[in-house]
Structure formats: C-alpha cells, structure tokens
Amino acid sequence: MTSWENRDMTNNHLLPYVDSATAPEEVSTALKTLPFERNIFKLIANAPTFFPTFMKLLTCAWSPERSLRSKDWQLVVLRTASLLDAPYEWDVNEPVARVFGYTDAQLAGLRSGDLSSTELFSDRQRLISTVVEDLCLRDRVNKDTVLKAKQVLGDEALMDLFYTQSIYAFLARTMNSCLIDFDAPIPGLEDMLRKYNATTIEQESAYTD
C-alpha cells in the first residue's frame, strides 16, 4: 500500500491489476487512453461495464475545451489528494502540476493546506481550495462560497470544479480502500506530459490572475 513516507512496492493490493494485453478489447483500449498506464486505471478496470465510459469522463478533465483552467484543475486534484490522505493520487498528479508551473513552495502549501501566502497563491486559488475543503470534509459547499465561486469562476468552470473534485475523490477513496501500490518510474514522463498537454499549457500561460 502507498504511504506518504514509504515508496516500497508492497504488492498487497486487494484487487488485481487488469492487464491490457489480456483484457477484453474495449477495456484494453480504455487502458491506453493516456500515453502511459497507471495502477489506478488497472485497478478500476476490474469493473468492465463502467471502466470504458469512466475513462471517457476522466479524459474530459484533460481536455482543452473545459472551462476550468489547468492550474485550477490541478489545485482541485492535489487538495483532494491531501485532504483525503491519498499519497498515490498526489504522486501521479504532482508531475502534471509541475508542467503547469507549480513550484516546490506552492506544492508544499497545497500539501499542508496553507495557502495564506499572497506571494504564492491568489485569492482565486484560495477560494477554490475552500470549495474543495468543503466538499472533502463536509460533503457540501457553503452557500456564500458557492455564490462567490460562481462570480469568480463562472457557471461552467464552477461545475467543471464539482465534476473534477468528484472524479478524483472517487479515485482517492478507491485507491486507498484497495491498498494500491505506487507505479514504477515512467521514463520520459515529463516530456510526455508536456506533449500531451501542449495546448492547455499554452492556454495557461495567457492568464495573469
């Protein structure tokens, strides 16, 4: 099982990792949705009826067409991983956050939940973190916070946020419950992430707030 302090491969996962080489065709194709395979996808592929459709939903989180900005997306993911105590989810997404410009200091703040520094985080980011904290810890967002987020993000991006947090909360709870193992290192991962996200990285560079 993964932990924040120990990256040993324990191989104690409670459900098998589905092999794309022997899985049914639709499942095998879905396992190759991204340019690399991860244990979490192999784990949730144990539900072959749900899995292919779920991967289509997950791909929306990576889409250049979504209204939620990419750095906002990764803030949602990493705060969810921290709040739900999901080190595997953090480990998988930290490299993604880095290609969108998150620094060591910002990542430390997201991990600890301290977004108070006005040099590291904007009011927008603190607001998003509050929404995620409400969802993770209280299962609903305060009305005043929803109205403020609606004003700052807009209706579409706010709903993107709700979808995104729900997807990654599901993944976090599943990987923790099934005692997932860390992935082996993926050679050239940063280059793959930059290539896969080239359009959204360019979009992100245009934002100034």
State the first-to-last Cα distance of the chain, in angstroms, to the nearest integer.
39
Each residue's pLDDT expressed in tens, for the chain with a length of 209 residues? 678 888 777 788 999 999 999 999 999 999 999 888 899 999 999 999 999 999 999 999 999 999 999 999 999 999 999 999 999 999 999 999 999 999 999 999 999 999 999 999 999 999 999 999 999 999 999 999 999 999 999 999 999 999 999 999 999 999 999 999 999 899 999 999 999 999 999 999 888 87
Tokens of 12: 């104690």
Alpha-carbon distance 43 to 127, whole Å? 33
Q: Which own/partner contact pairs does 50-54 have at CB distance under 8 Å and 24+ positions apart?
A: 51/27, 52/26, 52/27
Q: What is the pLDDT of residue 1?
A: 64
Q: How far is CA 138 from CA 22, 87, 135, 159, in A?
A: 41, 21, 6, 18
- State the sign of the Cα–Cα–Cα–Cα dihedral 129, 73, 191, 170: positive
Of residues 138, 186, 204, 149, the one with CA closest to residue 36 = 186
What are the strands, taking DSSP E only, across 43-186? Answer: none
Taken in order of first residue, the domains within the chain and their CATH numbers are: 16-61 (no CATH), 67-204 (1.20.1290.10)
Alpha-carbon distance 105 to 48, whole Å? 40
CB burial class (10 A; 0-12, 13-18, 19+) of residue 135?
Answer: buried
Q: What is the pLDDT of residue 7?
A: 76
| Cβ proximity of 90 and 81 under 8 Å | yes
**Residues making up the chain, counted from first to last:** 209
Is pTM beyond 0.85 here? yes
Of residues 84, 65, 107, the one with CA closest to residue 167 = 84
Give the CA-trace dihedral at 111, 37, 164, 199, to 10 degrees: 100
Q: What is the pLDDT of residue 47?
A: 98
Concatenated DSSP letters for 141-159?
Answer: --HHHHHHHHHHH-HHHHH
In three-state secondary structure terms, 117 is coil
Q: What is the pLDDT of residue 11?
A: 81
| Cβ proximity of 1 and 181 under 8 Å | yes
Tokens of 11: 């191989």
